[in-house]
């Protein structure tokens, strides 16, 4: 079984190392030796340390390598949309099997890859694209195919989970925690994809597509990052027995006419400390799946890093290699349900709203009236002197309101109207609440 490796960076170099260290076991498990036919990289002269591989295997001609007749399996760990999309479509159309960790490409144009796989008859596996080492996509696309998944809630970005965990543990602000994440090598030099939620949104699209048998792309996912989360938000969450996590939530629902829909979103949210995802700290990932017959299932582990991600890649390589030897392919993409994706405004959410208001008669009633006008029911209200402490600042009060579930658009309109009120000095923070309080 001959393998073309595209990319030899953080993940690719660990794939090479594991292939070397476990050669005998992999041969036994597959039923044939697994050999590297070539490794495509960008810089031939790059120092690759003591990587256990023949240096003549390196090439900058990825397409030439893919097209070789002696290549059976293409492993792509380069990342990005192009040229990866062109390479993988070419490989799949030619009947080769593909293993990729490229969540950005799968979320942007998974359809092109699935269609090419169907045309060429090879396998397309991508376990490493979501939650690194955690076996999650195979359970969704195989083990749970006899069940009906209603909701997937996950922490799928390690960098942001590290930052939010550090803010929670130390009281640090976002900038300070990001600096620590960068120093420790969790955050990349350009952390935009992580902190603005793009990485988690791509993973959410992949999870929703598999869970609901529907093509969901990155553009269908409502996305908010964590850059606006403040130390005060984290402290406020703590005071309520909660913590803040960047969640990806994919859920079934129904539109006004009762037709089944899905909603897919990524945003920071307060969750109670008793929630299974609250204890997921550091750079770990965890995904909570709620299925009709199976009930709740929790998947937990390392969502990033060279070796953990390479473990998932190699698992896929073994699966596709076995299939090729047996002359079979795995089930193709399952998108038969084709459910419409609901806009965020229709998603049912709860809000935690923290206001700085004038402390005089009628203010609470006026604020409550705004919620009522937008059909948003208030669950709890907490008032204290502005600035905390017994005395506070005298003329103002801090008002913290937690709502019941309502359409997100109604909650956003409520907050918009509150911002315009003379009695509301400031809307200090607005956070969604998940998992019951
Ligand atoms: P790196 O940046 O460490 O490595 C990228 C590799 O691709 C390098 O070897 C680079 O070559 C090569 N490359 C870049 N552009 C080209 C090109 N045009 N032609 C040929 N080779 C090219 O990335 P990672 O290993 O971190 O990530 C790889 C993939 O895995 C991405 O899709 C990422 O999203 C995904 N992933 C990564 C995880 C992680 O923890 N790192 C976790 C889960 C998924 P050179 O070595 O010469 O620079
Ligand atoms: N940047 C990603 C993270 C890598 O922090 O989780 C894994 O996909």
pLDDT digits (tens, 9 = 90+) for 146-177: 999 999 999 999 999 999 999 999 999 999 99
Give the distance (Å) from ligand 2 centre to CA of residue 268: 16
Give the distance (Å) from ligand 2 centre to CA of residue 304: 5
pTM of the model: 0.95
Give percent of the chain with pLDDT exceeding 70.
Answer: 98
Tell me, using a 6 A CB cutoff, whether residue 261 lines ligand 2. Answer: no
**Which CATH architecture group holds 347-433?**
2-Layer Sandwich (3.30)
Ligand nearest the Cα of residue 129 is 1
Burial class (CB in 10 A: 0-12, 13-18, 19+), 294: middle
For residues 7, 13, 15, 16, the Cα torsion angle rounded to the nearest 10 degrees is: 100
DSSP 8-class letter at 395: S
pLDDT at residue 62 in the model: 98
Residue in the block written with tokens 């309080």: 437
pLDDT at residue 172 in the model: 96
Strands 73-76 and 406-407, by their bridges, are: unpaired
pLDDT at residue 188 in the model: 83
What are the distances in angstroms from CA 375 to CA 242, 383, 407, 414?
26, 22, 9, 9
Tell me, using a 6 A CB cutoff, whether residue 214 lines ligand 2. Answer: no
pLDDT at residue 387 in the model: 66
pLDDT at residue 9 in the model: 95
Q: Whose CA is nearest to atom 2 of ligand 2?
A: 157
The minimum-distance atom of ligand 1 relative to the CA of 48 is 46
67, 96, 103, 203: the catalytic one is 203
pLDDT at residue 388 in the model: 58
Tokens of 183: 């120093």
Strands 348-358 and 396-403, by their bridges, are: antiparallel
Where exactly are the structural domains of the chain? 2-136+306-326, 138-302, 347-433
For the chain, which ranges sit under pLDDT 50?
A: 390-392
Give the distance (Å) from ligand 1 centre to CA of residue 207: 22
Give the distance (Å) from ligand 2 centre to CA of residue 327: 35
The minimum-distance atom of ligand 1 relative to the CA of 199 is 34
Residue 293 dihedral angles phi and psi, to the nearest 5°:
-90, -40
Give the distance (Å) from ligand 1 centre to CA of residue 78: 4
Q: What residues contact residue 419 under an 8 Å CB cut-off, 6+ apart?
A: 427
pLDDT at residue 391 in the model: 47
Tell me, using a 6 A CB cutoff, whether residue 157 lines ligand 2. Answer: yes
Tell me, using a 6 A CB cutoff, whether residue 303 lines ligand 2. Answer: yes
Query: CA 288, CA 156: separation in Å to the nearest integer?
Result: 11
The answer to whether the beta carbons of residues 51 and 8 sit under 8 Å apart is: yes
Residue 203 falls in the annotated catalytic set:
yes
**Which CATH architecture group holds 138-302?**
2-Layer Sandwich (3.30)
CATH class of this structure's domain 2-136+306-326: alpha beta
């Amino acid at each position: 079984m001959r393998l073309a490796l595209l990319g030899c960076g953080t993940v690719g170099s660990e794939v090479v190392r594991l292939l070397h260290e476990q050669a005998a076991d992999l041969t036994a498990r597959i039923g044939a030796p697994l050999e590297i036919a070539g490794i495509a990289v960008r810089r031939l002269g790059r120092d690759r340390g003591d990587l256990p591989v023949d240096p003549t295997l390196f090439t900058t001609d990825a397409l030439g390598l893919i097209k070789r007749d002696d290549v059976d399996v293409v492993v792509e760990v380069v990342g990005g949309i192009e040229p990866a999309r062109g390479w993988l479509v070419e490989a799949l159309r030619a009947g080769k099997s593909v293993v990729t960790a490229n969540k950005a490409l799968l979320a942007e144009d998974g359809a092109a890859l699935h269609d090419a796989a169907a045309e060429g008859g090879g396998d397309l596996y991508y376990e490493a694209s979501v939650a690194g080492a955690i076996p999650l996509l195979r359970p969704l696309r195989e083990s749970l195919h006899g069940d009906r998944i209603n909701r997937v809630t996950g922490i799928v970005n390690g960098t942001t989970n590290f930052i939010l965990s550090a803010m929670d543990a130390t009281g640090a602000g976002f900038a300070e925690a990001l600096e620590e994440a960068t120093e420790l090598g969790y955050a990349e030099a350009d952390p935009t994809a992580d902190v603005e939620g793009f990485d988690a949104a791509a993973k959410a699209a992949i999870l929703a597509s598999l869970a609901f048998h529907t093509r969901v792309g990155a553009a269908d996912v409502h996305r908010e990052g964590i850059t606006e989360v403040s130390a005060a938000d984290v402290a406020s969450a703590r005071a309520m027995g909660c913590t803040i996590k960047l969640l990806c939530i994919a859920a079934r629902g129904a539109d006004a006419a009762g037709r089944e829909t899905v909603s897919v979103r990524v945003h920071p949210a307060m969750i109670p400390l008793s929630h299974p995802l609250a204890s997921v700290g550091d750079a770990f990932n965890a995904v909570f799946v709620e299925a009709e017959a199976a009930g709740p299932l929790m998947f937990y582990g390392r969502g990033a890093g060279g070796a953990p991600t390479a473990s998932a890649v190699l698992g896929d390589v073994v699966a596709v290699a076995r299939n090729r030897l047996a002359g079979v392919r795995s089930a193709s993409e399952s998108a038969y349900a084709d459910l419409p994706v609901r806009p965020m405004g229709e998603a049912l959410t709860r809000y935690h709203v923290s206001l700085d208001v004038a402390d005089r008669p009628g203010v609470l009633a006026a604020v409550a009236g705004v919620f009522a006008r937008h059909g948003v029911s208030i669950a709890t209200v907490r008032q204290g002197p502005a600035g905390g402490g017994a005395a506070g600042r005298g003329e103002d009060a801090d008002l913290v309101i937690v709502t019941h579930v309502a359409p997100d658009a109604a909650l956003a309109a409520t907050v918009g109207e509150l911002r315009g009120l003379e009695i509301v000095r400031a809307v200090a923070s607005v956070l969604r609440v998940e998992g019951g309080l």
